Chains A and B, each alone.
Chain A
Amino acid sequence: MISVKEFHRPKLGNSDDEYEDAFACNFKNRRFAIADGASDSIFSSIWANALVKAFSDSTLPFSRESAFLRNIIYMARKTWYNNIEWDSLKLFVKNKALKGSFSTFLGVQIDPSGLNYHYRAIAVGDSCLFLRNNDDITGFPINDPSKFNITPKLIWSGYGSPFPEDYNTKLPEIKYYEGKIKPGEQMLMATDAISKWVLENSPKSFDRLCRMDDPYRFITGMLEARELRNDDVTFSAITLEM
């Protein structure tokens, strides 16, 4: 049995419509995914959502082969492409949309393994998975708060119209991670701003986010106090029930 608590809010000054992170889970597939649409590209929210849905809902077996992520991107591109009304875009939006959208991506597959669970994670960019490790935490793919910057690796949607929806895009650098987790333990998935804070304040930060029932006031307070970079914030605490 797995349970999930998810929180998100847009950066200060932006409306809910302008939020560009995404999270999705599929309990049947035991898949969980988080993505951070690049604010410098356009239709990033559609692209981030398409990626997390394609991964979590896909029944393709999880694999370290690049063909697995290529298939996820291929499916996500179709969703992204079909959700944009290419013919009615304004001039500047159209010129930029042709260049496609970008997003980070982190997907996790959790499977029972004897009395424990086995997790496998795939990542592009700086959205992170955290695990409690005795008195510390381990972060993947970033475990050092000084490593966050504004040029993370990103998954590209490929060019917009007039390129066809089944256009094959270039694969970025992909990282994999796997391990065992016991019943009763938790893992945390988070986008970059809050991930950096988690690493800077570990391990208390991990426990605090996992236990918090209503993080809105806490997160907003940290954004206002500039303890977090002003960015969309998304995190999800996953608990492997006993």
Chain B
Amino acid sequence: MTYSSEISRKNPGLFIFLIDQSRSMSHKIGGSDRSKAIEAADAINRQLNELINRCTKSEGIRDYFEIGIIGYGGARGQAFSLLKDSTLVPISELESRILKMENRTQVIEDQEVEYELPIWFEPIAASDTPMVKGLQLAEEWAKDWAAEHPESFPPIIINISDGEATDGNPMDVAGNIFSISTSDGDAMIWNCHLSSNKIEPVSFPNDSSSLPEDRYAQTMFQMSSTLPDNMVAIAREEYTDVEDGAKGYVFNAQLEDLIKLLDIGTRAVSSLMR
């Protein structure tokens, strides 16, 4: 249980993204004029971009990961794959599933630089919140995958939601997911919690006493995995405020920083860049 398996094309990892598409996601994020649904779509698009970025080499995208994407609440009581005709796909396949490109600019070294940002998912806020059903589908996929990849880095499930499950207690199924394992460790759940409450963002807390006053924060925190020691050690190279026992949980904050902490070879520490 060391979370040290080499992530490679021969020995890929698995990410399953769950995105909450329920009606409550139409409410605005605390302190922002953007809805939780817009933030959720932005979050998954950013996280997929970051993951692909980690897998991109000079010749293109290497299949270091398989990817599954589950939407829940887009239709009443339903959770299903958002990848048409597929459940899990090699990450390179996402290139052919881009919905549209958006031209963006960023200012680097006082120079305005244009780049194209791929968009896979647009905001949806439709129905109830069958999070349990979404997690059960993720459990099924992760279980089968772990059986087929017994020595791989264990599955990582990322849940982007406001936490308002309407089909039961997600803790039970989260417990089932935590019991899925490979020889390298137990499956992990990381939660990206979006809230309408206007409270300071929180990233990777290690203690429930530091959670914000939000009625779903405790549950979302409890169903988040403790980050492996080696990820915490890497995190400390770039961020000083990550404590031992930090959990894969963010509140109205960005989760993609965690993807940067995965060991896929010698890391280029971004702090070297101006």
Q: B234 touching A40 by the CB < 8 A rule?
A: no
The interface size of chain B toward A, counting residues with CB under 8 Å, comes to 34
Q: B118 touching A91 by the CB < 8 A rule?
A: yes
- Chain B residues with CB under 8 Å of A150's CB are 234, 263, 265-267
Docked CA distance A92–B92 (Å): 10
Partner of B58, one of A36, A38, A93: A93
Q: A92-B52, A150-B263, A163-B111 are in contact. Are A43 and B272 (CB under 8 A)?
A: no
Q: A91-B116, A100-B273 are in contact. Are A154 and B111 (CB under 8 A)?
A: no
Q: B60 touching A93 by the CB < 8 A rule?
A: yes
Docked CA distance A41–B59 (Å): 12
Q: A156 touching B273 by the CB < 8 A rule?
A: yes
Mark contacts of A7-41 with chain B using CB atoms, 8 A cut-off: 1 yes-contact digit, 0 otherwise: 00000010000100000000000000000101111
Q: Smallest CB–CB gap between B184 and chain A, Å?
A: 13
- Chain A residues with CB under 8 Å of B147's CB are none
- Chain A residues with CB under 8 Å of B273's CB are 99-100, 156, 159, 170
Q: A159 touching B109 by the CB < 8 A rule?
A: yes
Q: A172 touching B272 by the CB < 8 A rule?
A: yes
B54 at the interface (CB under 8 A from A): yes
A61 at the interface (CB under 8 A from B): no
B8 at the interface (CB under 8 A from A): yes
Q: A39 touching B58 by the CB < 8 A rule?
A: no
Q: A102-B272, A159-B109, A162-B113 are in contact. Are A43 and B266 (CB under 8 A)?
A: no
Q: A170 touching B272 by the CB < 8 A rule?
A: yes
Q: A40 touching B265 by the CB < 8 A rule?
A: yes
Which positions 2-59 of chain B face chain A at CB distance < 8 Å?
6, 8-10, 52-54, 56-59
Q: A96-B56, A150-B266, A152-B266 are in contact. Are A162 and B111 (CB under 8 A)?
A: yes
Q: B9 touching A13 by the CB < 8 A rule?
A: yes
Docked CA distance A154–B95 (Å): 30
B216 at the interface (CB under 8 A from A): no
A98 at the interface (CB under 8 A from B): yes
B274 at the interface (CB under 8 A from A): yes
Q: Smallest CB–CB gap between B230 and chain A, Å?
A: 9
Q: Which chain A residue has the least Cβ–Cβ distance from B269?
A: A151
- Chain A residues with CB under 8 Å of B115's CB are 94-95, 98
Which positions 145-159 of chain A face chain B at CB distance < 8 Å?
150-152, 154, 156, 159
- Chain B residues with CB under 8 Å of A172's CB are 272
- Chain B residues with CB under 8 Å of A156's CB are 268, 272-273
B61 at the interface (CB under 8 A from A): yes
Of B57, B95, B115, B237, which is in contact with the most chain A CB atoms at under 10 Å from its CB? B57
A217 at the interface (CB under 8 A from B): no
Q: Smallest CB–CB gap between A36 and chain B, Å?
A: 7
Q: Smallest CB–CB gap between B99 and chain A, Å?
A: 14
B108 at the interface (CB under 8 A from A): yes
Docked CA distance A40–B120 (Å): 24
Q: A98 touching B113 by the CB < 8 A rule?
A: yes
Q: Which chain A residue has the least Cβ–Cβ distance from B57?
A: A42
A143 at the interface (CB under 8 A from B): no
Docked CA distance A160–B62 (Å): 21
Q: Which chain B residue has the least Cβ–Cβ distance from A226?
A: B6
Q: Which chain B residue has the least Cβ–Cβ distance from A46?
A: B58
Docked CA distance A45–B58 (Å): 10
- Chain B residues with CB under 8 Å of A163's CB are 108-109, 111
Which positions 63-111 of chain A face chain B at CB distance < 8 Å?
90-96, 98-100, 102
Q: B267 touching A38 by the CB < 8 A rule?
A: yes
Partner of A39, one of B60, B237, B264: B264
Which positions 199-242 of chain A face chain B at CB distance < 8 Å?
230-231
Docked CA distance A93–B101 (Å): 15
Q: Which chain B residue has the least Cβ–Cβ distance from A167?
A: B109
Q: A13 touching B113 by the CB < 8 A rule?
A: no
- What are 8 sample pairs from A and B whose C-beta atoms fall under 8 A apart? A13-B9, A13-B10, A39-B264, A96-B56, A98-B113, A150-B234, A154-B269, A231-B265
Which of B's residues lie within 8 Å of A, judged by CB?
Answer: 6, 8-10, 52-54, 56-61, 95, 101, 108-109, 111, 113, 115-116, 118, 234, 237, 263-269, 272-274
Counting from the closest, the 5 A-B pairs by CB-CB distance are A39-B265, A102-B268, A38-B266, A41-B268, A92-B56
Which of A's residues lie within 8 Å of B, judged by CB?
Answer: 13, 18, 36, 38-43, 45, 90-96, 98-100, 102, 150-152, 154, 156, 159, 162-163, 170, 172, 192, 230-231
Beyond A42-B56, A170-B272, 9 additional contacts (C-beta under 8 Å) are A13-B8, A18-B57, A41-B268, A95-B56, A96-B56, A99-B268, A150-B266, A151-B266, A231-B265
